[in-house]
Amino acid sequence: MTQGLSNEQVARRQKEYGRNAPSPPKSHALQKYFGYFFKGFGPVLLIGAVLVFIAWKPLGQPPSLANLALGIVLVAVFFIQAAFNMFQDWSSSRVMSSIKNMLPEDTMVIRNGKQAFLEAHELVPGDIVCIKAGNKLPADMRFLQVSSDAKFDRSILTGESLPLAATVNSTDDNYLETRCIGLQGTHCVSGSCTGLVVATGDRTVFGRIATLTNEPKSKMTTLEKEVLYFVIIICSIMLAMITVVLIVWGTWLKRVHPDWINVPTLIVDCVSVAVAFIPEGLPIALTAGLTITANLMRKHKVLCKSLKTVETLGSVSVICSDKTGTLTENRMTVTECTIGTHTITIDGAEEELEVSEAPAVAGMVTTGVDQVRTIAGLCNAAEFDATTMDLPIEQRRVFGDATDQAVLRFSERLGSVHHLRQCWQKTYELAFNSKNKFMIRTFSLFKKDCLNATLSEREAEDFKTGDTLLTIKGAPDILINRCSSFVNNAGDVHPFDEDMRRAFENVKDMYSSQGKRCLLLARKVIHQGELRHQSGAGQFEDEIIEQAKSDLTLVGLVAIVDPLRPEIREVVSTLRGAGIRVFMVTGDFALTALAIAQDAGIVSSPAPLVDNVSALPREERGSDDKPSGSRSSILISGPELLSLNEHQWKILTEYEEIVFARTTPEQKLRIVKEFQAIGVVAMTGDGVNDAPSLKAADVGIALGSGSDIAIEAADMVLLESFSSVVEAVQYGRVVFDNLKKVICYLLPAGSFAEFWPVMTNVVFGLPQILSSFLMIIICCFTDCAAATVLSYEKPEADVLLRRPRNVKKDRLVDWQLVIHAYGVLGIIETIASFAMAYWYLEKNGIPFRVLWFSFGDLPGWIDPDFYAAKLNEASSIYFVNLVVMQWFNLLAVRTRRWSIFQHPPAFNKKTQNLYLFPAIAFALCMAILWLYIPQLQSILGTSPVPVEHWFLPFTFGLFILLFDEGRKFLVRRYPNTIIARLAW
């Protein structure tokens, strides 16, 4: 058990058993590929193509090549969209798999007689693995050694809600039922254990289940629901308009103007309406936007486990943050200790110890420092890495949690911990947990070398072989009332009276008010006759716990400093500016938590002005209640939360600054749920006790250095710094912003300006001034590329100065966006394009008055061939006009409030989006391709455009850009006017 496997044994078993990883699940290729083609607007495009092919043959008399070309383009777009969906799926799955690879999956293994951290997939049957609270079991294992409080959460496999205790002895013949077996994937929720790996990979219970089941289907995200809601509205309007076209044709045109629109033309008109209304680029832009943002966040060391997390972040209004390891560095150091009435620094303790070991007094007196040092080294679950013992104490690697590490280094500074542990043999251990808030270790004497350093002179003389030394370390408020005596600075034991109790309480409060964590160290000698059972028996544990409830000897207090992360103050300030309330939720003392919260900027009020539970009335008092604006800061502890009623919770949620102290995991969960009633809640944490609240929060955020169970429960992992949460919130908001920009860009030309040529053709008898083929080109080529690159837009300067999005009120497509897209941009682009096309016909001798309500009945002096040629040219002019104006619209919708000069598309790394220019060039190439290739002109009914009609749209486009610049200026300058309220 102490040696583990050798390198040769490991190599042989890896060859025999393979990697400790499950086989990849079945891909359901048929279902997946079907989705590539038929999700989004694929079905509409395919049905449209089939109908157009029918309009070409057999209904076309004679068959129109333009309809054939239109059908081919629709089929091509259908396959291009499927290919893009395929690429996006591959791209996003690559992002997610790379994220999973970056998550820590290390485990502590004993090999070649040494402890080492290995990746879980390197384990082989026969490995000896050390597990502590918070770890996830990396393989099925047989327990060889367990602490008395070792418990495992098997709910992931069995659904059992209560953790099960681990044992060394078998409790059942069934592999799944016996408690001496730990199953892969289950979490150690308390205690520690050592186990022998018995199964890896697909041979584990978890692996066998994984091969039988598929991955659960992910639910539709909030943003996808919003998009679906928008698409349903658009499709409803589309169907209504198609119905109008069919009714007008069936009840009037077919009877009055039978030669105007035949059945093939009617089919093409209906397909044109469908194509005009549907923003084909939207599904592509949505998926691209989320994947692009997840990639950008990954570069900032923020790992999102799912794309859902990306969009939820933008609406977070409350962040509940754990203290230790999240706001602080989790790099704890003991700074001073108190023995009796004497408080000394660590340097002072070293000096006192040197004096007590001087030849004149050595062996005659034992100091209190010696006893504190001994209890700190014995009652400690941390261990030095044997390979680093030659390094200075501060540089040595330590296995164990941060608190135990700090206390172990303190003890080692004053003397050898290894020697201590050789003198005392451990007989029992109760590991620290967030409920008890203390740990216990009991020992029997093995060598007498350390007896005088451990106990007072009198106790050392009375200590006999067979007696038990009980050591305990934990929270002073829990343990101080269990003490009946204390050790003074000279190392003598004295009764613990009320005056000394108050003195120690004052010292504890002093440490706490300085933001230091305080631990109480105590011991008790239990003589052989006082224990009826031997160590190892279940009753022995009960006796020890009972003995620890009274007559303890308080050896001393130690103060531990955990420095605040240097970036925290700026992070809290930035999040506040973004309208997000940041609360501290910790298990630490109230005064300690408040001091650190004030240092971090979470609480801005001085301590005397911070409210407590008495400021929360149990019922409404009318005018006596504080107005919500005056509710600034409050400090409230876990036990006080238990007594709050519904009205008090309502008032508590209105506070801007809250510190929750001495909270249990259940209370953290309650806090999250109460605040979820009024907004979107993010929870940050890194410990086992944070896992339930991380799971329950809308966005659970774990640190990469945190426990496995916390990372498993979280939606997002910060690999390096807590400051990354600012980037995460920023990009979460940018996703929503950019999607609004995409819709605002697609609707004017790709929907509104394409719809009216069809309606004027059907209702007013005008020629269809934009051909159905060119409509498809705008929707699926020229606009689609530009819409996708809008997903690369950088955050606007005010993105972290706005209030969080209200998910219940702030819709993706609201009435302001519809008014701007249809009522402003759509009308400008439509009128300008109509004007250019009909002006061109007017110049060429085809006046508008003869076309109005003509229904194809033209005067005899207009040559039909000449008319058809000029109509093709007018259609191409309408198309070019839209394409060019959309370039300027693209530059305008890049920002919702800021000027193009404040947020330039180039020459500024913080704002630039250089992908815009290739998108514009692509649109130009598409226009040239379909208009200027002679072989295509006769088939598609397109034509080259006179050069002036390439430059005239620049004037209209510039008008759109300048108009929008003026609107944005007024919105920024006069934020309370009707113009600002109309801003999308």
385 an active-site residue? no
Q: Choosing from 149, 322, 401, 783, which is the catalytic residue?
A: 322
DSSP assigned state of 213:
S
Q: How far apart are CA 817 and CA 984, in angstroms?
A: 5
Q: What's the 3-state SS for 155-190?
A: HHHHCCCCCEECCCCCCCCCCCCCCCEECCCCEEEE
Residue spans of beta strands (DSSP E) within 435-500: 438-445, 468-474, 483-487, 493-495
- Terminal C-alpha separation, the chain: 67
Task: Give residues with Cβ within 8 angstroms of 794, minimum separation 6.
Answer: 734, 903, 910, 911, 912, 913
> What is the residue type of 533?
H
Q: Give the number of other CB atoms < 10 A from CB of residue 653.
A: 18
Say if residue 256 is exposed, middle or buried (CB neighbours under 10 Å; 0-12, 13-18, 19+).
Answer: exposed
Q: How far apart are CA 730 and CA 62, in angstroms?
A: 58
Q: How far apart are CA 401 and CA 330, in angstroms?
A: 9
Using an 8 Å Cβ cutoff, are 732 and 302 in contact?
no
Q: Using alpha carbons, select from 718, 740, 532, 509 the residue that is nearest to residue 607.
A: 509
Q: Give the number of other CB atoms < 10 A from CB of residue 801.
A: 11
Using an 8 Å Cβ cutoff, are 332 and 402 in contact?
yes
Task: Give residues with Cβ within 8 angstroms of 715, minimum separation 6.
Answer: 304, 305, 306, 308, 309, 312, 699, 700, 701
> What is the residue type of 3?
Q
Q: How far apart are CA 982 and CA 984, in angstroms?
A: 6
Task: Give residues with Cβ within 8 angstroms of 258, minimum separation 6.
Answer: none
Question: Token pair for residue 14?
Answer: 């890896």
Residues in the chain: 984
Residue spans of beta strands (DSSP E) within 431-467: 438-445
> What is the residue type of 727?
E
Q: Give the number of other CB atoms < 10 A from CB of residue 500.
A: 18
Q: Using alpha carbons, select from 153, 181, 154 the residue that is nearest to residue 169.
A: 181
Question: Token pair for residue 40?
Answer: 């989004």
What positions carry a catalytic annotation?
322
